[in-house]
Amino acid sequence: MDYEKAASFWTAKRTTAPMDESELRGAIDAFIGKHHVCALATGSDGFIRNTPIEYNYTGGKFWILSEGGLKFRGLKDNKNVCLAIFEENSDFGSLHGMQIYGIAQVVEPFTDDYNKLIEYKKIPAESLKRLKEPINLIKINPKEIDFINADFRKNGFDARQHLSIKN
């Protein structure tokens, strides 16, 4: 098996019909906004975890509230994460999904970012402060997005589009 050849399939095959960046960003934001659950992949030192979890997307960032779990074992030493958001469809050639590569940060409870998110979600801070253990907040700053949308072909674009984000 030539793993390197297989791994480089999409990077070697450059998009021949890319979308305008603003149009692509609009399509990405619409897709992300239409969904609220992702698969969050974390890992380090031979440990990998892929967690289905609810997210919020605001300010160009992904925000995930979590009581805890093994995802934090991966985040302890490796802040690089991947989120997958997709639609279930069994028809060949009609895939709609994306992979978001980003950098995660665990936000301290009741800091400005934390308070802004719980306010956005309409969660009273006082109710969270009464918990034995605080709810953890993971902030993910996206760096790259690969968006596969079979419908892009209808407008003459490649189904696979890539966006690099500089922030």
Q: Tens digits of per-residue pLDDT, 38-56?
A: 999 999 999 999 999 999 9
Q: Please give the DSSP secondary-structure letter assigned to residue 5.
A: H
Tell me how many helices (H) and strands (E) the chain has: 6, 8
Q: Tens digits of per-residue pLDDT, 141-163?
A: 999 999 999 999 898 998 899 99
Query: Cα-atom radius of gyration of the chain, to the nearest Å?
Result: 18
Split at pLDDT 50, 70, 90, the class of 97 is very high
Q: Tens digits of per-residue pLDDT, 65-93?
A: 999 999 999 999 999 999 999 988 766 76
Q: What region, left, alpha or beta, does residue 69 occupy, with left being phi > 0 and alpha being psi -120 to 50 degrees? A: left
What would the two tokens of residue 72 be? 């934090």
- Per DSSP, the three-state class of 137 is strand
The answer to whether residue 167 scores a pLDDT higher than 80 is no
The answer to whether residue 5 scores a pLDDT higher than 90 is no
